[in-house]
Amino acid sequence: MNNLKKLGLTALAGSLVASTATAGTLEVTGSASVKYQSKSGSAGTSGVQGNPWSDGNAISFKGSGDMDNGMTVSYVYTMTDAAFSSSSVSLDMGDAGLVAFAHGTAFGGIDTIKDKMPTAGEEVWDDQGTGDDAGVTDVGSDPSLNYKVDMNGVTASASYSRTGVGTDTSVALVAADLVDGAEFGIGIATDVTGTSGTENDMSTVYAKYTAGAVTVGVQLSEIDKTATNGDIDREAAALSFAVNENLSISAGISTVEYEDSSKVDAESTGVSASYTMGGMTFGAVSNKTDSFGGTAGSDQEFTEVSISFAF
């Protein structure tokens, strides 16, 4: 009897494994890159920051499966340089929308539209140093609950997360199909920062228009801080051009205005280019920020040349 029980349990376990395997799929993708970076300027350490050469790699596990009620469950786990980067679990309910729990990735709310300017590489303000994202409406990458639903050409999404000192909430509306070639978006958020529980109110609005190979965009953002004279406004504009199906170039500008009278406007400009051949991409970025952090005379420059592979 014991042998028969063992045989029956083994057969049952085998059938359970088989049914689980056929219920969904698991896909593994990866990327690898080699970069040469140069940083200089009075806003940080002058010259190249150590060895200008670096490499990176990422692995993503993506799984999905259909439920008996027609809904779809999806899972994504990404590692960058062998360390956790981001993860998400989502439930697609069809016309009723999508619910997701995400960690380290923007799935809903204002983070999904914090910078929607067209670019062939990096944002013009990026990689300049600590605080280079001043004026960008980002509520952070804490674990969050998200919801997203499509309504007649308009996508509405929201995010909710708890921190040790408060709650981060945000919503966003994006219209990508109402006007041919045009995309519009607006978002608002309340972000709790630091250990004091100080709340900052954020808002952003953007518009993009594509005509043939050219895409132009503008974006306005505001961060209203509780601290006196702490408000920050940001204006951005960019243009990208698809030379052909492989080569794209872009240029942009971003201006940050500080309410603090002791600071001046910080202006970031940059150009990017990318060339793709199958799974291989060559990239080049050149960014510059004048009056970095609102300090007159503090300028920063960043240049990067890279090659990346997707598998």
What whole-number distance in Å separates Cα of residue 146 and Cα of residue 172? 11
Task: Answer for the pair 256, 223: CB distance below 8 angstroms, yes or no.
Answer: no
DSSP 8-class letter at 51: -
Q: What is the pLDDT of residues 221-239, one digit of tens each?
A: 999 998 889 999 999 999 9
Check the CA dihedral 126-131-136-139 and report its sign: positive
Q: Domain 93-310's class? A: mainly beta
Q: What is the pLDDT of residues 250-259, one digit of tens each?
A: 999 999 999 9
Distance (Å) of CA 219 to CA 6, 149, 205: 66, 23, 6
What whole-number distance in Å separates Cα of residue 51 and Cα of residue 44? 16
What whole-number distance in Å separates Cα of residue 260 and Cα of residue 237? 24
Which residues partner with 39 through β-bridges? 302
DSSP 8-class letter at 129: S
Q: What is the pLDDT of residues 34-47, one digit of tens each?
A: 999 998 876 444 44
What whole-number distance in Å separates Cα of residue 136 and Cα of residue 118? 15
Q: What ranges do the domains of the chain cover? A: 93-310
> What is the pTM for the complete model shown?
0.87
Q: What is the pLDDT of residues 14-36, one digit of tens each?
A: 433 433 434 578 999 999 999 99
Question: Going by DSSP bridges, is the β-strand pair 280-290/266-277 parallel, antiparallel, or unpaired?
Answer: antiparallel
Task: Answer for the pair 287, 270: CB distance below 8 angstroms, yes or no.
Answer: yes
- For the segment 186-192, the average pLDDT, to the nearest whole number, is 95
| More confident position, 136 or 24 | 136
